[in-house]
Chain A
């Protein structure tokens, strides 16, 4: 069951993106096949391996065709009762071809998988480089776990593209051409018929089959969505349904959607069968055409019994080359969508650029300042942050509060060099942030971004991300500072405890505290904490909010929070709304005033009795 809190949070993270640029806009006129080509371009260094795989596939098919054709030769020639020496080559060839067919198929499969994995490594590195410059502000996917998961599975799916979508057509083209060439040499009209038949089987039939299934599949999508929604509602609300004895009502709704889905599936069966039927028909008619021409030529004496048998059996066997192609067409159609999403990422504009000659970081202490900072998510779009000024000298703690979508996290993104300014200035030690390398800036301005990620590794490994050389004593010490001493002591594996995928093996509060410990361990001069108490229950929120104010005493901190508890301890509270600073001052001053902070503060308090 999704909690309302999570929904609210998702809504917030979605909000600033509403007018945000789809990165796809970078190349509006790109043709529909272009993404696949750009993916293939990434595989260019592996071209020769790809060709080897295709050649092995072609050889396998070729051996199969040759096996039947040579057998035909053997029988036709034998029926003329020649000397056995006339057959000896054919006998050896038949045996060799039969072994070659299996051997080359094995080689093809291995080579195709090998090249696919090599391409995967290239694609992964290429996309990682791109994501490194984009994350998190340059890509909407970083706002949605689902989009990110899909992007990663798109990248993974490139291996299927190469195994099923690229190698088989290449192999089919090579083997098919060889078969056609052989037939052309024996009887050219028959060779032309075979060429036409193979082309139809390789291109026309898969394309027709694909377009025939597309329409019913489109109709089924909303029905499937309806069924999913109805089932999801029933399962997510299972407790309420059980408590009120209403299971059958909810199941009835899902059942209605299920029946519709089944009806559509039955109707789409006809379209699906079309491809298989057409493939069989194409192969059969081609064989028949070749046979007819061959028989006519034999009747007129221009073709003797041996070439007739070889010709017909070659035509019969050569359709093995195209059997894998309908599946390849489906794969290419899938991959085109994946490749399109990958291309969007590759083409997306980076949110920040490093200067050509970056400045050295100041040696001693420094102040980080914003003056009238403005941010737009896209050129010409509305200002998401408008005229924000603040100063973070050493030791000063500022809390940034305000409603969802007020622009608080965007201020953090400016300081972490995740976003460039549209106006105003952001300085570090008196010089523009943009004059430093972004990585350098983040070595002194750090902390916890919103929803910090806990990696599927041990607690120690997660912490050492911040400081690889940290000793166990240092790790234990920093965990103690964030209130995890007892917990870590209670774990049988201690620091070596695995936190599971996305930290699933630890509680939400522990996850946030580990992230806080990691930020403290990195020990940046300026610490930015973006909603460190999000996703916690009221108990956990309050205790973490208190703890983090204690451990951050004496350092420069920008704390973005919804929890007003304990904010009397920070030096300044900045209240934002719709991208602007609406109020600022100490807790004492703001709580006594009559502004937005006072209203927020009041609403957290019990009502007067």
Chain B
């Protein structure tokens, strides 16, 4: 709120300076008319000394006011951008991983970091010009009318024609302008596509043939863009024409009345000098509006995101805390999940009961919905149908952060942040004492390599400076779980991309973590399988029971996720043929 107050302050200063500039424009015209008329009647520079000095002061003052106005406007823009960036970052994060996953990567960052900078022309040029577009014509009209009411009448009649024509022409040309932008974007997309594919085109001997095609396509686009521009530029033509015709009208009318002695020379000069000023800010504002189009588009996109509601059931703050998962059963009753843009639901009428302390292995082909089940339990996506009860309470009605406090998640590729190793481990417990962090790291098998980092636990895990192996990253993520000690553990292919040695180490640590907790493990069909417990096969969004520990292989004695025992065939010769 502070930032928005600050921004308002700057905008008020900008507006006030706009009024000052208006006054100085009129003063300049008045002094100029006076000096010209007086000099014409034979008075020399010495006699006009006072007026000339005053004119110099006006000129300098006008420049100063213009500069100060732009500075204030830009400072206002900085304040507005800061606030929009901050709100955008917060809201985008709150919209959650499922929503973020549907956005183009980097788009939001680019929008917040660079895109909003295109608001500068809007604030620094368009807004001040808009203020002038209101203040200057009004002041000019008043001045001219008081000096010569007939000219005032002409201005009063023609002036409204400008916004009127602008609106009418704008209506006609808006579609054409948009069409020409779309054409240009498509043209640019075509060229990028063929350049990116150039190595491929060369392999197939098609590169030379494209040359003519590029020239032809560019030329075709030019022809159609020019056809739309011929209409789109008409709006500017109409504006320009009405402004300069009005000036001509006033000049001729004033000149003729001057000729017949109905008007004196200084007044006529004043009218001539201020008349164009009445039309100028309107035309400028219209031009600046186009120049700030990028900023308006960027801001529009920001507000579109800010207006996106956090899906119901994802974040419900202030509702009752979740019941204790150590004793409560989780029941999926006919749960369906659909993603926008996908024809079929990812999960279709799923029934599933998860008892406290149970171990469930979810297996099945890629894209079958295994990870979606975890995402539902993490409250990343809300079910479109059915219900999930925790004990007697509805999952989607609980406060998401309190619920997640009971859920530990080990994804396939955990995110590390460019913070210290200790801060990374304490992700879920920011206030945890160092000793607890170190204990968690030890349990996760991460203590050894962390102590070898340049600054130990205070080493910043910066991707550019430090390359941690996938296994080391996974161990840090594991340490997060050891520190948090949640009753429900969701493990999403935790060792799928690790080399065998790291996978075995992570497996061993997982063994000591799972203990008495409820565990749901998502795994590849020949990946690790939990020990005793149920194995469920997820296929096309539905779940079938594969039996109790049926796939657990040789290692039923060890209740741990294991990438080792599950893979059939251990001798090189046996595995020489594809194992699938």
Interface residues of A in 73-132 (CB under 8 A from B): 74-76, 78-79, 81-82, 84, 87, 90-91, 94-95, 97-99, 101-103, 105-106, 109-110, 113-114, 117-118, 120-121, 124-125, 128-129, 131-132
Q: What is the CB-to-nearest-CB distance from B58 to chain A, in angstroms, rounded to a whole number?
A: 8
Q: What is the CB-to-nearest-CB distance from B223 to chain A, in angstroms, rounded to a whole number?
A: 9
In Å, the complex CA distance between A284 and B109 comes to: 43
Minimal Cβ-Cβ distance residue in B for A299: B44
A543 and B580: CB pair below 8 A?
yes
Q: What is the CB-to-nearest-CB distance from A471 to chain B, in angstroms, rounded to a whole number?
A: 18
A258 and B259: CB pair below 8 A?
no
Q: Mark B551-566, 1 if CB is under 8 A from A, else 0.
A: 0001100000001110
A110 contacts which of B48, B85, B226, B570 (Cβ < 8 Å)?
B226
Query: Is the C-beta of A288 less than 8 angstroms from some C-beta in chain B?
Result: yes
B248 and A231: CB pair below 8 A?
no
A128 contacts which of B46, B79, B112, B211 (Cβ < 8 Å)?
B211
User: Assuming the A-B contacts A94-B251, A308-B36, are A269 and B78 also in contact, with contact meaning beta carbons closer than 8 angstroms in the complex?
Assistant: yes
Q: What is the CB-to-nearest-CB distance from A9 to chain B, in angstroms, rounded to a whole number?
A: 13
Q: What is the CB-to-nearest-CB distance from B253 to chain A, in angstroms, rounded to a whole number?
A: 10
Q: What is the CB-to-nearest-CB distance from A325 to chain B, in angstroms, rounded to a whole number?
A: 15
A125 and B205: CB pair below 8 A?
no
User: Assuming the A-B contacts A227-B112, A245-B428, A587-B576, are A124 and B93 also in contact, with contact meaning beta carbons closer than 8 angstroms in the complex?
Assistant: no
Query: Is the C-beta of B207 less than 8 angstroms from some C-beta in chain A?
Result: yes
Query: Is the C-beta of B108 less than 8 angstroms from some C-beta in chain A?
Result: yes
Q: Mark B136-173, 1 if CB is under 8 A from A, else 0.
A: 00000000000000000000000000000000000000
Q: Mark A213-243, 1 if CB is under 8 A from B, else 0.
A: 0000000000010011101111111111111
Stretch at the interface among B190-198, B330-338, B385-393, B443-451: B190-198
Query: Is the C-beta of B89 less than 8 angstroms from some C-beta in chain A?
Result: yes
Stretch at the interface among B268-276, B318-326, B536-544: B268-276
B236 and A565: CB pair below 8 A?
no
In Å, the complex CA distance between A117 and B555 comes to: 70
B413 contacts which of A3, A309, A456 (Cβ < 8 Å)?
A3
B576 and A128: CB pair below 8 A?
no
Query: Is the C-beta of A453 less than 8 angstroms from some C-beta in chain B?
Result: yes
A235 and B564: CB pair below 8 A?
no
- The interface on chain A, measured as residues whose beta carbon lies within 8 A of the other chain's beta carbons, has a size of 162
Q: What is the CB-to-nearest-CB distance from A410 to chain B, in angstroms, rounded to a whole number?
A: 14
Which of chain A's residues have a CB closer than 8 A to the CB of B204? Answer: 442, 446, 465-466, 518, 522
Query: Is the C-beta of B297 less than 8 angstroms from some C-beta in chain A?
Result: no
Query: Is the C-beta of A165 less than 8 angstroms from some C-beta in chain B?
Result: no
Which of chain A's residues have a CB closer than 8 A to the CB of B416? Answer: 237
Interface residues of A in 270-309 (CB under 8 A from B): 270, 272-274, 276-278, 280-281, 284-285, 287-288, 291-292, 294-296, 298-300, 304-305, 308-309
Query: Is the C-beta of A394 less than 8 angstroms from some C-beta in chain B?
Result: no
B74 contacts which of A255, A265, A449, A455 (Cβ < 8 Å)?
A265
User: Assuming the A-B contacts A136-B199, A265-B81, A609-B565, are A117 and B252 also in contact, with contact meaning beta carbons closer than 8 angstroms in the complex?
Assistant: no
Interface residues of B in 32-84 (CB under 8 A from A): 32, 35-36, 39-48, 52, 55-56, 58-60, 62-64, 66-72, 74-75, 77-79, 81-82
Which of chain B's residues have a CB closer than 8 A to the CB of A102? Answer: 237, 240-241, 244
In Å, the complex CA distance between A105 and B233 comes to: 10
Q: What is the CB-to-nearest-CB distance from A578 to chain B, in angstroms, rounded to a whole number?
A: 19
Which of chain A's residues have a CB closer than 8 A to the CB of B193? Answer: 453, 455-456, 501-502
Q: What is the CB-to-nearest-CB distance from B60 to chain A, in angstroms, rounded to a whole number?
A: 7
A114 and B222: CB pair below 8 A?
yes
Which of chain B's residues have a CB closer than 8 A to the CB of A118? Answer: 222
Query: Is the C-beta of A206 less than 8 angstroms from some C-beta in chain B?
Result: no
B45 and A299: CB pair below 8 A?
yes
A465 and B252: CB pair below 8 A?
no
A309 and B36: CB pair below 8 A?
yes
Can you report 5 residue pairs joining A to B where beta carbons are below 8 Å apart? A131-B195, A299-B39, A316-B32, A442-B205, A465-B204
B411 contacts which of A117, A240, A456, A522 (Cβ < 8 Å)?
A240
Query: Is the C-beta of A601 less than 8 angstroms from some C-beta in chain B?
Result: yes
Which of chain A's residues have a CB closer than 8 A to the CB of B435? Answer: none
Q: Mark B385-416, 1 if CB is under 8 A from A, else 0.
A: 00000000000000011001101010101111
Which of chain A's residues have a CB closer than 8 A to the CB of B113? Answer: 224, 227-228, 231
B572 and A75: CB pair below 8 A?
no
Q: What is the CB-to-nearest-CB distance from A162 to chain B, in angstroms, rounded to a whole number?
A: 13
In Å, the complex CA distance between A110 and B199 comes to: 37
Query: Is the C-beta of B524 less than 8 angstroms from some C-beta in chain A?
Result: yes
A98 and B272: CB pair below 8 A?
no
Which of chain A's residues have a CB closer than 8 A to the CB of B82? Answer: 258-259, 261-262, 265
Minimal Cβ-Cβ distance residue in A for B266: A79
User: Assuming the A-B contacts A240-B414, A568-B576, are A245 and B404 also in contact, with contact meaning beta carbons closer than 8 angstroms in the complex?
Assistant: yes
Which of chain B's residues have a CB closer than 8 A to the CB of A120? Answer: 218, 222
User: Assuming the A-B contacts A75-B251, A269-B71, A466-B204, are A155 and B32 also in contact, with contact meaning beta carbons closer than 8 angstroms in the complex?
Assistant: no
In Å, the complex CA distance between A272 and B206 comes to: 49
Query: Is the C-beta of A26 less than 8 angstroms from some C-beta in chain B?
Result: no
In Å, the complex CA distance between A269 and B187 comes to: 36
Which of chain A's residues have a CB closer than 8 A to the CB of B265? Answer: 75-76, 79
Q: What is the CB-to-nearest-CB distance from A417 to chain B, in angstroms, rounded to a whole number?
A: 9
Q: What is the CB-to-nearest-CB distance from A474 to chain B, in angstroms, rounded to a whole number?
A: 15
Stretch at the interface among A145-153, A176-184, A377-385: A145-153
Q: Mark B84-95, 1 if CB is under 8 A from A, else 0.
A: 011001101110
Stretch at the interface among A33-41, A64-72, A423-431: A64-72
A607 and B500: CB pair below 8 A?
yes
In Å, the complex CA distance between A195 and B96 comes to: 62
Query: Is the C-beta of B317 less than 8 angstroms from some C-beta in chain A?
Result: no
Query: Is the C-beta of A156 less than 8 angstroms from some C-beta in chain B?
Result: yes
Interface residues of B in 361-406 (CB under 8 A from A): 365-366, 378-380, 400-401, 404-405
A452 and B200: CB pair below 8 A?
yes
A113 contacts which of B66, B189, B202, B226 (Cβ < 8 Å)?
B226
Q: Mark A406-431, 1 if CB is under 8 A from B, else 0.
A: 00000000001010000000000000
Query: Is the C-beta of B547 less than 8 angstroms from some C-beta in chain A?
Result: no
User: Assuming the A-B contacts A247-B93, A299-B46, A501-B193, are A603 and B500 also in contact, with contact meaning beta carbons closer than 8 angstroms in the complex?
Assistant: yes
Q: What is the CB-to-nearest-CB distance from B370 to chain A, in angstroms, rounded to a whole number?
A: 13
A117 contacts which of B70, B81, B221 (Cβ < 8 Å)?
B221
In Å, the complex CA distance between A238 and B102 comes to: 13
B248 and A273: CB pair below 8 A?
no
Query: Is the C-beta of B575 less than 8 angstroms from some C-beta in chain A?
Result: yes
Query: Is the C-beta of A142 less than 8 angstroms from some C-beta in chain B?
Result: yes
Query: Is the C-beta of A585 less than 8 angstroms from some C-beta in chain B?
Result: no
A245 contacts which of B42, B225, B405, B423 (Cβ < 8 Å)?
B405
In Å, the complex CA distance between A261 and B500 comes to: 45
Query: Is the C-beta of B201 less than 8 angstroms from some C-beta in chain A?
Result: yes
Q: Mark A570-609, 1 if CB is under 8 A from B, else 0.
A: 0000000000000000010001000000000111011111
Minimal Cβ-Cβ distance residue in B for A227: B113
Q: What is the CB-to-nearest-CB distance from A70 to chain B, in angstroms, rounded to a whole number?
A: 8
Of all A-B residue pairs in the complex, the 3 with the closest CB atoms, nearest first, are: A299-B44, A277-B67, A237-B415
Query: Is the C-beta of B229 less than 8 angstroms from some C-beta in chain A?
Result: yes
A272 and B74: CB pair below 8 A?
yes
B554 and A296: CB pair below 8 A?
no
A281 contacts which of B60, B96, B580 (Cβ < 8 Å)?
B60
B428 and A246: CB pair below 8 A?
yes
User: Assuming the A-B contacts A74-B252, A244-B484, are A295 and B497 also in contact, with contact meaning beta carbons closer than 8 angstroms in the complex?
Assistant: no
Query: Is the C-beta of A537 less than 8 angstroms from some C-beta in chain B?
Result: yes
Query: Is the C-beta of A266 less than 8 angstroms from some C-beta in chain B?
Result: yes
B59 and A281: CB pair below 8 A?
yes
B414 and A296: CB pair below 8 A?
no
User: Assuming the A-B contacts A110-B226, A239-B97, A258-B85, are A136 and B198 also in contact, with contact meaning beta carbons closer than 8 angstroms in the complex?
Assistant: yes
Query: Is the C-beta of A390 less than 8 angstroms from some C-beta in chain B?
Result: no
A605 contacts which of B205, B244, B572 (Cβ < 8 Å)?
B572
Q: What is the CB-to-nearest-CB distance from B453 to chain A, in angstroms, rounded to a whole number?
A: 19
Minimal Cβ-Cβ distance residue in A for B67: A277
Q: What is the CB-to-nearest-CB distance from A514 to chain B, in angstroms, rounded to a whole number?
A: 11
Q: What is the CB-to-nearest-CB distance from A154 to chain B, in angstroms, rounded to a whole number?
A: 11
